[in-house]
Amino acid sequence: MFGYIKPFEPQLRVCELEQYKAVYCGLCRGLSRSFGPAARLTLSYDFTFIAMLHAALSDEIPQFLPHRCPCHPFVKRSHLEPCESIAFSCDIAMLLLREKCVDNREDSSFPASFVWSFLLPAATHFANEAARKRSSASSLAREMTAAQRNMELLRDAATIDQCCDPTASALGGILELAGHSDEERRILHRLGYMLGRYIYLCDAVDDLPKDLEHGGFNPLKSRTGREEQAQLLRQTIAEIGAAYALLSPKCFQGILDNIVFLGLPRQAELVLEGEHHHE
């Protein structure tokens, strides 16, 4: 993913910011432990959110311990200890990395396509490891790529809703896996669906200048007005907030509230202003 799901740090309490960083560092350590040091390069704020949301709905009590890491070798930093929430988010990261490599290889010209082709075998190996534990999520990720390719073949005949649907449906199905009751799973599916729509729209706005210049596919080519794009994002963020409000987090609620109600609107604003920077 792309780093669009981030907290608005100025409004986080000091203890909340430290917890957020600890989950981020725990996810980084988990990626290295499960898939090797190179997997740290896939670390994303988006997957940190998934790990925190998963943990917030779990009965498992988060444990934090200090560790050194390659980025901070001289000072120990707090890390969320290995748990199912970290494992879940790491596995999802690898499954989506494979799909990103496949998609970028098809969409890029040489030499970028060669780079993605070079990375694909390693990404596929990691994804296959994750798929052994997360077969449902693996199927969702593969279906997303196939459906997205079909939408792009339709070009201008595809509506914005149709173009958003593959990413939205995949993330909806993935978050649903974190639910512990039928009601919770329904809520998580809706939350994930709208988050996937938000991510797709943000990426489309980000890529619009490049796609207009080079003729790439982008469903927003007919909606280049900033206010129209802003309205699409505002409506989507409102739906995310409505779904999230139905959940009952057992921990990390202050951080999750910040991300949903402050962080998402702020990132959308940065995207619309052309100031968002990919991780």
Is residue 276 domain-resident? no
Is residue 275 domain-resident? no
Is residue 262 domain-resident? yes
Is residue 36 domain-resident? yes
Is residue 40 domain-resident? yes
Report the domain count for the chain.
Answer: 1
Tell me the per-residue pLDDT of 161-192, one tens digit each, with 9 for 90 and over.
999 999 999 999 999 999 999 999 999 999 99
Please say whether the beta carbons of 167 and 2 come within 8 A. Answer: no
CATH code of the domain covering residue 253:
1.10.600.10
233 contacts: CB under 8 Å, gap ≥ 6: 198, 201, 202, 205, 268, 271, 272
Q: What pLDDT, on a 0 to 100 scale, did the predictor assign at position 106?
A: 82
Q: What pLDDT, on a 0 to 100 scale, did the predictor assign at position 47?
A: 96
Type of residue found at 229: Q
Is residue 161 domain-resident? yes
Q: What pLDDT, on a 0 to 100 scale, did the predictor assign at position 110?
A: 79
| Segments in the chain below pLDDT 50 | none
Question: Which structural domain, as residue segments, surrounds residue 92?
Answer: 9-270
Is residue 101 domain-resident? yes
Q: What pLDDT, on a 0 to 100 scale, did the predictor assign at position 104?
A: 86
Is residue 28 domain-resident? yes
